[in-house]
Each structure stands twice: as structure tokens, then as C-alpha cells.
Amino acid sequence: MTKINGSDAMLKVIYDWGIDHIYGFPGGSFDSSMNAIYDFRDKMKFIEVRHEEAGALAASAEYKLTGKLGVCFGSAGPGAAHLFNGLYDAKFDKTPMVAIVANVPTSRQDIDFFQAFDEDKWFLNASVWCRQAKTAEQIPILTDEAIRQAYARKGPAVIIIPKDYGWQKIDDNFRVNKDAHPADNYPAPTKASVEEAVKLLKEAKNPTMYIGLGAKDAGEEVKGFAEKFKTPIMSSYLGKGVVEDKFPAYMGTIGRIGPKAAQEVQSATDLVVWVGNNSPFSVLWFPKNAKVIQIDVDSAKFGKRHSTDVSMLADAKKALRAIIDAGEERSESPLYKAAIADRENWDAWQASFKNSDEMPVRPEPIWDVINKKADDNAIFAIDVGNVNVDSCRLLNLHDDQKWTTSGLHATMGYGAPAALTAATVYPDREVWQLAGDGGFAMMNQELLTMARYNMHVLNIVFTNETLGYIQAEQEDESHQPLSGVIIPDNDWAKVAEGMNVKGVTVRTKKEFEDAVDEFKKMDGPMLIDVKYTHEMPYSTELNSLDDPAFVKKYQAEDLKPFSYFAEKYGLEADAATGASQHEESEPEEDPAPDTVSGASQH
């Protein structure tokens, strides 16, 4: 029988699963696998990142963008340790991926050897499945199992390979049976649950929808549901893009990063159709007495964030379609009318700044260019920080556009690795990395990777010289002196040029537009350093339009409070002021720091 190195057997399994590229950075303990990568050079592409964390984040981004798992690797010791951030990103966002981790030779384990630690124990918490090969013959078996477990358990799987096993010869007799691995095929709802849902919809005065990433394949059904039953749609941040941002009934993301209307509408509903959403911040929203129809494929999620009246263990697409077919069309509720008007007021207010000549430049002029210039199938790799606020409110996703970010783990530095992934798996599509100067500084070395592989990526760095998201927390939530959030300006265009990437610094909308046009005419990567406003985004958490100082700070003279629309369309007073679960019965004179909802963005 033909013999094959253990590491070659590993790579053969990966290739037979239809995976044709791998992210990583070499190390001595990974030599056998680097040899296998060389042997497979005509079949598999090796993306050599400049830091193992970037490789792990890139692998996590792969499933988010394609529905197909990514693979990364790290060598023993520090190479392995650098993978953790990407693994936790995948674990938090329920993203299948596989990490191959090298270990020192078996004869050198457990004797305080160079770069050796108990890898299997450390990786248990960062993964949904973790095994170390005990023999070379186990390597292809465990590789296949890692891929299966990652898909089945929706998270990162880790296989640890001691250096000596990777070189050992084994029989080349393992065959992948990936066709037996079924694609997601979730059940339809029961007839009884559909009938109960229809009954609640008929009885409700002001129903709404709250969607998450679990509704990503049900965009048409979400829109059809909203149109038939006149339900304003709100989403988690990861639910952005399920429907196009310009869809009239879509209020946007609830919470501090979202627009004003979503935050206001959620507090006035009496029925929430809760679809594929497990945002941990959901416990802070919606009236306690609101009824909930919850649709999810994971029964552990029912009632986790809010009490549930109807639980539908079903595919979002199938469940929504069943309710649409069974239910009676509703007329527009007072809340629906108020919500539409509230959103229109917000949109008009934002649009009023799109040609502003304020210096440093405001967000609206820059994002107006992004919306106009981005291809209809562009991919946006979005970092973490105030760029999430701006993208949530100002990026108008449509057509076949895709986007990705670090959701629940919310790690700064995600944008550059995700852009590597987008350029690798969609080489013919336009890729935009959108990052603040804080997050970009953490992974800026990956410009070298983009240059090396001539990736057509437009890297936009919003330089506002602050960790803006944390600054807003310190100002608005913990009410403390600014501490550790101010960062020095940097010439990111010069940094880019030093890494063989075209770099441009801009300060106006016209300069930015010209730079984008230049990128569209060239090959390879480019970086645009936007010298951005230091002002914080509008605070939807405070939303104090009755406070002249607040109105002046955010130039919000044209914004109207929700009570204006509620009164105009006859929304009952208790609904218009409906207390969400996070609101206090009386304001505190000296608010205590928020120690519950706020978290560092990385």
C-alpha cells in the first residue's frame, strides 16, 4: 500500500473536503506540515499572514462570508497562543473553523521543553472540540472529525499534531465521505405553534419584529411578514443586511450603536416576533409585559433573553412563511406609522450633513461616498469601535453586498484579517476594510500580506485620535475623566507606503472621492487615511432631545422626539413611553458607573 507522511494525510483530508487554501505562519514544530503545503502547492494556496492571530481571524471570517469553514495553523508555543483571539471570535459568533496546532515531539512533552505547554488543556475552552493525535495513524481521522465537529457544533475545532507524528509514514487509505455530511436542514414549525402565533398577531395592538443573524437566509420572508402584518423591523447588529437598509420598515439595530428610531420603537411594542436572535444585550430592551413569538433552531435560546409566549423550534424561513400564509393582513398600527415617520426624520437629519464642510470631516460626507462608489457586490470587512456605530447607521447595504465583523467577541483588529479572507475567496469582487485608527493599529502589519498577494483591497482608516467607543462609555456611562483613550495621530499613508501599499491622506469629501476613484482604476491594495472628526456619534442611549445642551452638542435641532410622532399618530401614552427593562423608575442624581452592559470593544 502507498505510504504518506502524517502531515500530508492531514492536508489531503482538508483538500478532499473542498478546502483549497489555508492561513498561517511557519514554525519549526510545523515543518512537516509546511512540507505538506509545499507538496500540495498546485492544489492548495497558502496565505502566509504576518501574525498567527490574523490567520485565526481570517479563518473565522471565512464561514461568516461564505458558509464554508476556514482553516488556520500555528506552531508550538507562541504560535499556538497567538491563535486564541481568532478562536474565541469563532466560538462567540458560532462560526465553524479548524485550527491545526503543532506541538513539540512526544518525547519532549511534559519535561519543560522549549516552547512546550499543555496545549490540549488550554484549547479546550477556546474550542467546541479539541484532540491531540496519539499516533500518526490518527491524524487523518482526527482531521476529518475536526471538520465534522466544527460544522455540527457551529464553532472552532482544534487538532494538535506533535512534530514527530507529522513526519511518520502511514498507509494512504483514509477516504473522506463529506457527501454524507448534510447541509443545514432545519424543521418546519408545528401547526399548533403557527396557530398560536397567528392568534397573538391578531390580538396585538403594536407588533414588531426583532431579527438576528439566524434570519440571514430569510430576508424575503422578513420583508413579506413586515408588509403583511405592518410590523416595524429591528435587528441585532449582526442582523444588519438581512434586509436592505433602505427597506422602509427596517428601523435598524437596537442599542447604542444603532439609529434613534430602533431604540425608541422597541420600548413601545406589545408583541415581538423574535427571529434567530441571541444578542446578550436583548435583556435590556422591550417592555417586560410584551408578548414574544420566538423562532429559533436551538431550543436552549427560548426564553433566555425575554419571557416567551410561543416557541417555534423551526427554520426562520419556513416559520415566517407559514405564519404569512396562515395570518390575516393587518392595517397600519399607530406604532407602525410613528416608526416610519421617526425613521424618515432620522434619515433626513443624517442626510443634511452629507455635504458638510466641517473640519475635521464629519462621518456623513465620507460614508455618502462609500455608499455611492462601492460596487453592488462589494464586501465590507469592518473592524471594531466607533466604526461599528458609523457603519450601522450610515452604510446602506443592498443587492449582493456582504459584510463581516467580530460580533460578540468584538475584537479590535478584525478588519484587516477579514479583508484578507474576502480578497482570497472573492478575488473578483471589491473589498473594503473599514477601521478606526485604534483597531487598525493592532493588525496593520497585514498590509504586507495584501501587498505580497496583490489583493485588491481598499483599506480606509478613520483617524480620530481616540478610542472613540470607550471614550463615549467613559463620558456617558461611567461619567469619569477620560483615561487612556486619547491616541496620537499617525501618518498611516506613510506606513502603507513602507509596506508596498499605495497610501493617501485625505481631509475632505472631494479628496476622499478622488482617492476612491484612483483605487478603482488600479490593481492591488490601497490605504486611505481619513483625518476624521473627533466628535462622538449621536448618543441614542441618552437621546435627550429636551436638553438644549444635548441638542447643541449633536446639532440635533431638526430631530424630533418619539413622543411627537406618537402623539401625531395616536399611539397610546403608556406605549409611547413604554419602559424598557433597563430604564430606572426615577433618574439617579449621581448615576453609578455601568458595570453590566458596557464592555471593552476588544
3 state SS of 459? strand
Which of 184, 207, 208 has its CA nearest to residue 68?
A: 184
3 state SS of 435? strand
CA atoms of 210 and 273, how far apart (whole Å): 6
- pLDDT higher for 179 or 404? 404
User: Above 60 in pLDDT, residue 185?
Assistant: yes
Which of 219, 221, 254, 249 has its CA nearest to residue 237?
A: 254
In this structure, the chain runs to a length of: 602
**Fold adopted by 191-331:** Rossmann fold (3.40.50)
| Averaged pLDDT for residues 361-383 | 98
Q: Which DSSP string corresponds to 291-304?
A: EEEEEES-GGGTTS
Q: For 400-423, what is each residue's pLDDT tens digit?
A: 999 999 999 999 999 999 999 999
Pair type for strands 169-171 and 3-5: antiparallel
Band of the pLDDT at 328, cuts 50, 70, 90? very high
DSSP assignment letter at 51: S
Those residues with Cβ within 8 angstroms of residue 372's Cβ, 6 or more apart along the chain or in another chain = none
CB atoms near residue 346 (< 10 Å):
23
Q: Where are the domains of the chain?
A: 3-180, 191-331, 353-531
Q: Which triple of cell numbers denotes residue 167? A: 513526519
User: Above 90 in pLDDT, residue 600?
Assistant: no
Q: Which triple of cell numbers denotes residue 444? A: 496593520
244 CA to centre of own chain: 16
| Averaged pLDDT for residues 365-379 | 98
Q: Which triple of cell numbers denotes residue 448? A: 504586507
CB-count burial class (<10 Å; 0-12, 13-18, 19+) for 200: middle
Q: φ, ψ for residue 267 (rounded to 5)?
A: -85, -5
Q: For 193-218, what is each residue's pLDDT tens digit?
A: 999 999 999 999 999 999 999 999 99
Q: To 5 degrees, how large is the angle CA 21–CA 26–CA 30?
A: 95
> Residues 441, 446, 447, 448: is their CA dihedral positive or negative?
positive
CB-count burial class (<10 Å; 0-12, 13-18, 19+) for 18: exposed
> Across the strands, what pairs with 45?
21
Look at residue 595 in the predicted model and tell me its pLDDT.
37
Distances (CA, A) of 382 to 407, 433, 541: 10, 6, 23
Q: Which range (31-45, 109-123, 252-266, 524-538) has the least confidence?
A: 109-123
Which of 393, 384, 473 has its CA nearest to residue 437?
A: 384
Q: For 518-537, what is each residue's pLDDT tens digit?
A: 999 999 999 999 999 999 99
Q: Percent of the chain, pLDDT > 90?
A: 81
Look at residue 578 in the predicted model and tell me its pLDDT.
46
Q: Which triple of cell numbers denotes residue 76? A: 508550538
Alpha helices in 171-327 (DSSP H): 191-203, 219-229, 260-265, 316-326
Q: To 5 degrees, how large is the angle CA 300–CA 305–CA 306?
A: 110
CB-count burial class (<10 Å; 0-12, 13-18, 19+) for 500: middle
Look at residue 575 in the predicted model and tell me its pLDDT.
62
| Averaged pLDDT for residues 45-66 | 98
Hey, which CATH number is domain 353-531, 3.40.190.10, 1.10.287.70, 3.40.50.970, 3.90.1150.200?
3.40.50.970
CB 255 within 8 A of CB 563: no
Alpha helices in 118-170 (DSSP H): 119-125, 138-153, 163-167
CA atoms of 236 and 281, how far apart (whole Å): 9
CB 212 within 8 A of CB 277: yes
Which of 310, 266, 340 has its CA nearest to residue 575?
A: 266
For the chain, the average pLDDT equals 91
Q: For 224-272, what is each residue's pLDDT tens digit?
A: 999 999 999 999 999 999 999 999 999 999 999 999 999 999 999 999 9
Class of domain 3-180: alpha beta
Which of 123, 85, 87 has its CA nearest to residue 103?
A: 123
3-state helix, strand, coil split of the chain in percent (to 5) is: 40, 15, 40
CB-count burial class (<10 Å; 0-12, 13-18, 19+) for 179: exposed
Comparing 191-331 with 353-531, is the CATH topology the same?
yes
The continuous run of DSSP H or E covering 396 comes out as none
Look at residue 593 in the predicted model and tell me its pLDDT.
41
| Averaged pLDDT for residues 387-411 | 96
Band of the pLDDT at 107, cuts 50, 70, 90? low
Residue whose cell numbers read 413601545: 268
- In this prediction the pTM is 0.92
Phi-psi region of 72 (alpha: psi -120 to 50; beta: other; left: phi over 0): beta
Look at residue 186 in the predicted model and tell me its pLDDT.
80
Residue type, 586: E
User: Above 70 in pLDDT, residue 507?
Assistant: yes
Band of the pLDDT at 352, cuts 50, 70, 90? very high
